[in-house]
Amino acid sequence: MLNWFKSKKKNYPDFWLEYLNHFKSKKRTIIKETRFVAFDTETTGFDRKEDRILSIGAVSITKKTIQVNQSLELYIEQDIFKPETVKIHGILKHGSLEKISEIEAIKKFLAYIKDSDLVAHHAGFDKNMVNEMLLRHNLGKLKNKFIDTGHLYNKSKHIIYRENLKEHYSLDDLCEELNVPKTDRHTATGDALITAIIFLKILSRLDKRKNLEWDYLLK
Amino acid sequence: MKNSIAERVADFLNRYPPFNMISSQDLLQIAKEVNIVYLEKGDTVYNQDDSFNHHFFIVRDGAINLHYTLNDSDKNLNINDVGDVFGVRPLIAKENYKHTATANEESIVYGIPIDLFQSITYNNSQVSKYLVTAFATNAYDPYTTEENSKVFVDYLPNTANDVANFQTADYTKNPVTCNAKTSLRDAAIKMSTLKIGCIIVVDDQKKPLGIITNSDIKNKIATGKFPIETEVTNIMSSPVFTGKKGLTIADAQLQMIKNSIGHLCITHDGTTNTKIIGILTHHDILVALGNSPSVILKEIKRANRTKKLRTARLKANTLLKSYLEQNIPLSHIVKIMAQINDAISFKVVEIAVNRMPTPPPTSFAWLALGSQGRHEQLLFTDQDNALIFEDVDTDKYEDTKNYFLELSKRITERLHKIGFEYCEADMMASNPEWCKSASEWQTQFKNWILQPDEKAVLLSSIFFDYNYIYGNKYLVENLTETIFNTIDNTSQFFKFLGRDAIKSPSPVGFFKKFVVEQNGEQKDLFNIKNRALMPLIDSARLLVLINKIKGINNTAERYEKMAELEPENKALYNSCAYAFKALSKFKAKQGLLHKNSGKFIALESLTKEEKLKLRRCFKPINEIQETLKYKFDL
């Protein structure tokens, strides 16, 4: 039994091992200098077992700067296709976009995120979708720390306003609240960029307390 | 790989200069390499004395404050808002930043990689001109001469369609013709007596068979190819190119260029099968397009009716438009337009005098005042004028004055017909106040100078800039002499003028907001004449009066003269001259665009680069006002 587990672990492909390797030497740097990856997925629906990821968009943030040429934009070939969701994400089954296989997408995504802290809006959903995809290819779960912008926004509000806060903030709500233009909503990369900017804005509000600590951010 | 963010960045950049001057393909390439930088309030993009960055910046959201430290005090340079470009020094000079860029509020800026940008825009002169302007605007050394030569050249693409192109071509009706049997000698004699350059050979139904032009005679007769008595049919160019009545200038010009010909025969149905009704020459097209000042001036000189003067003046407007688009130096444009305006005024006076029932009882001089007097009138504006007549015996005074008032009335009416609006303040020679004998005028000016009051100062802006147009020049010279002699005896007048020159505050208020009109019909419009041009004009007049400079009326030239006289203030005076020219050009362009005097400007209608330019011109206004305050202890 123990052997079986061991042998499976040995069968992990190189790219996964390489991904895991990043975490062995991970050290915490100061928040300002840390690389964050904001990402978003477009899916065929909300069921983590049944639905599939059609597109992943990601941007990285270092020192409050997003480099456009360092962004990630993946479109994934899927057999499952739900016409009713096309109106949201706009990705056609046989559109003109250049698509890659799921395993290729995983390789690219992992190579991109490395050990960075991931930022997503309602991070739980995206995390589950990605993990499910990894599982389908017999890989482990993501090891990265997650930061949820919805949750973080709540924390950024002063205690006296907390009771007026909504239970659930959509990305659109935050765009309104934080005055972020809603260009390219519902494309993975567009939402990733919006999430990144929202993250930076919330961070600066939290940073007003100056000694923002990792514990607080990741909690 | 698709990069949606780059596309969105490109969409944004494309809305602002200089990026809107770059092809979309190149822009996308640049956008892919952009850095999106988030700044909290108080974050700095770069610091004064930092070595140069590999990026320059454009504000995406928020506002960036540019400031610098001088002698331990922090000075604000500018606040850039969405679409403004900053940090361009490394593009122009690889040296350390001269100012600090700090986020004035929460902001997002795009960092544009300099190397890539330069390699892409290497051959794009519009882009570099824009950046030089942006650089100069954010540079706090306002009078760097090396910039001045480049700053105000235009970078706007020439998009305006020349309206004249679509006018119907005005051809010569009843062209001179001869029949096929005519000898060349007879045809040539006909051409010579009628002073024309071509003759049409027609059949007995007046259908055009061919055309003989001067060059046909030169090439085929003078060279000895044909004898002089040959029949016209032997040397005519045939068949002729034809056009229909109502042909547009653009079409006619196209046909001429395509077939390399200089003449088009106009026939009833536009073919050679019908009777000829006219001839359109290349010269006609040039005249119609009005793109030659000499053609316009000739037209003015030949004009015998006010209507023709009006046409000529309208052509001058077209000419002005194309000059402005072609970036011909403003001083040159101003001179040509002044020539045209003066020629028109001269002709109007001449026609009016000739139509008076009796010749003038004594000699007189017609003066242009105000902007025309300063030779700065680019567009149709108000007419401001005055008349001086030679002193006559007291018993004849009444009749003489009435004669000249009547003459003036006719002149101003004609000017009005041509397009020069009546002066609202009635500062025209048709007003008995401004139609006076030589000695009356001298008394008048003495009073203004020795007992200055509000009214005198108000009038000074019009009357002290007079220019002789027509008549007895001696009368005008005498008046000038009197003015300068009187000025010698007083300094109070200068103080009045000085106070007037500094009364309009700086055109830019707090946070680079333009000072706009607060109430009335023109609410929220920027009055470029009162706010920007008048302070410069008033200051220049004061300076030349003090320095007794005669014969220079033009504001820019006045400053240039002052620069000569006071080398220590050369930079300031030159920058004033420059600002004045740039602002006049701006006003003229706005006027042409909105078909008015261009005096009031709706700021929202301005593009980014236009606002940039305007702001750049305001710096010298402040400076000259400060100098005057100091000089006259105001």
**CATH number at B4-141:** 2.60.120.10
CATH architecture of B306-447: 2-Layer Sandwich (3.30)
Confidence (pLDDT) at B165 = 46
Name the percent of chain B lying above pLDDT 70: 87
Residues of B in contact with A187 (CB under 8 A): 4
Domain count, chain A: 1
| Residue B558 CB burial class (10 angstroms; 0-12, 13-18, ≥19) | buried
Q: Is the ipTM of this complex over 0.90?
A: no
Task: Please indicate whether residue B623 or residue B395 has the higher confidence score (pLDDT).
Answer: B395
For B448-488, the pLDDT digits (tens) are: 888 877 777 777 767 778 888 999 999 988 888 888 888 87
Task: Give the separation between CA A137 and CA A101, rounded to whole angstroms.
Answer: 12
Distance CA B587, CA B205 (A): 56
| Cβ <8 Å between A190 and B39 | no
Q: How far is the alpha carbon of A87 from chain B, nearest alpha carbon, in Å?
A: 18
Which residues neighbour B360 within 8 Å (Cβ) at sequence distance 6 or greater?
A: B353, B389, B403, B404, B407
Q: Which residue of B has its CA nearest to A191?
A: B5
pLDDT number for residue B399 = 93
Mark out chain A residues that contact chain B at CB-CB < 8 A.
Answer: 57, 59, 64-69, 71, 73, 75, 97-98, 179, 181, 183-184, 187, 189-190, 193, 197, 200-201, 204, 207
Extended beta strands in B250-377, E state:
263-267, 276-281, 364-368
Most confident of A8-22, A67-81, B299-313: A67-81
pLDDT, position B404: 95
Instruction: Summarize the confidence of residues B4-20 as an average pLDDT.
Output: 86
| Partner-chain contact B38 A65, CB within 8 Å | yes
Residues of A in contact with B43 (CB under 8 A): 64
Mean model confidence pLDDT for chain B: 80
Report the interhelical angle of B394-418 vs B306-325 (nearest 10°).
Answer: 60
CB contact under 8 A, A98 and B5: no
Which of B15-29, B418-432, B590-604 is predicted most confidently? B15-29
Q: Is B106–A201 a contact, with Cβ atoms under 8 angstroms apart? A: yes
- B-chain CB neighbours of A66 within 8 Å are 35-38
With CB atoms and an 8 Å threshold, state whether B40 touches A207.
Answer: yes
Q: What are the tens digits of pLDDT across the range B509-541?
A: 544 556 666 555 566 677 888 788 888 888 898
Measuring CA to CA, which residue among B322, B317, B282 is closest to residue B296? B317
Instruction: Say if the Cβ atoms of B4 and A57 lie within 8 Å.
Output: yes
pLDDT value, residue B152: 32
The DSSP H or E segment spanning B198 is strand B198-202
Q: What is the mean pLDDT of residues B214-229?
A: 87
**Are B5 and A193 an interchain contact pair (Cβ–Cβ within 8 Å)?**
yes
- Are B106 and A75 within 8 A, CB to CB? no
> Between these two residues, B394 and A182, which has the higher pLDDT value?
B394
CA distance A53 to A126: 9
Structurally, at CATH architecture level, domain B163-289 sits in Roll (3.10)
B329 prior amide bond cis, ω within 30 = no
Question: A199: exposed, middle or buried (C-beta count within 10 Å: 0-12, 13-18, 19+)?
Answer: buried
How far does the CA of residue A90 sit from the closest CA of chain B (Å)?
A: 13
**Which SS3 state, helix, strand or coil, does residue A148 take?**
strand
Q: Which of B6, B11, B106 sits opposite A68 (nearest CB)?
A: B6
pLDDT confidence of residue A150: 86
Identify the domain containing residue A49 by its residue range.
Answer: 2-218
pLDDT over threshold 80, residue B126: no
Secondary structure of A25-92 in HEC code, one letter for each residue: CCCCCCHHHCCEEEEEEEECCCCCCCCCEEEEEEEEEECCEEEHHHCEEEEECCCCCCHHHHHHHCCC
- What single-letter amino acid sits at B50? D
Residues of A in contact with B38 (CB under 8 A): 64-66, 197, 200-201, 204
Judged by CB atoms closer than 8 Å, whether chains meet at A65 and B9 is answered as no
Please report the pLDDT score of residue B330 as a whole number.
75
Q: What is the pLDDT of residues B148-193, one digit of tens each?
A: 333 333 322 222 233 344 456 677 888 889 998 899 999 999 988 8
Instruction: Average the pLDDT over A37-63 and give the result.
Output: 90
Cβ <8 Å between A65 and B106: no
Least confident range of A23-37, B29-43, B452-466, B510-524: B510-524
Please indicate whether the domains covering B4-141 and B163-289 agree at the CATH topology level: no
Q: Contact B35/A68, CB-based, under 8 Å?
A: yes
Report the gap between the CA of A218 and the closest CA in chain B (Å). 21
Nearest CB partner across the interface for A64, out of B3, B9, B38: B38
Taking contacts as CB-CB distances below 8 angstroms, the residues of chain A near B30 are none
Q: State which H helix or E strand residue B146 sits in.
A: helix B145-151
The nearest CA of chain A is from the CA of B19 a distance in Å of: 17
If one compares B161 and B339, the residue with the highest pLDDT of the two is B339
Interface probe for A, chosen from B38, B41, B46, B82 (most Cβ of A below 10 Å), is B38
pLDDT at B491 over 50: yes
Query: Domain extents for chain B?
Result: 4-141, 163-289, 306-447, 492-632
User: Nearest CA of chain B to the CA of A49: how many Å?
Assistant: 28
B→A interface, C-beta within 8 Å: 1-6, 8-9, 11, 31-40, 43, 61, 106, 108, 111
In this predicted model, which residue has the larger pLDDT, A209 or B306?
Answer: B306
Q: Is the CB of B5 less than 8 angstroms away from the CB of A75?
A: no
Which helix (H) or strand (E) covers residue B70, if one does? strand B63-70
Work out the minimum CA distance from A61 to partner chain B, whole angstroms: 9
List of long-range contacts for A14-18, beta carbons under 8 Å, 24+ apart: A15/A106, A15/A107, A15/A110, A15/A111, A16/A110, A16/A139, A16/A140, A18/A111
d(CA A29, CA B237): 89
Query: In this structure, what CATH number is given to the domain that contains residue A74?
Result: 3.30.420.10
Phi and psi at residue B180, to the nearest 5°? -60, -25
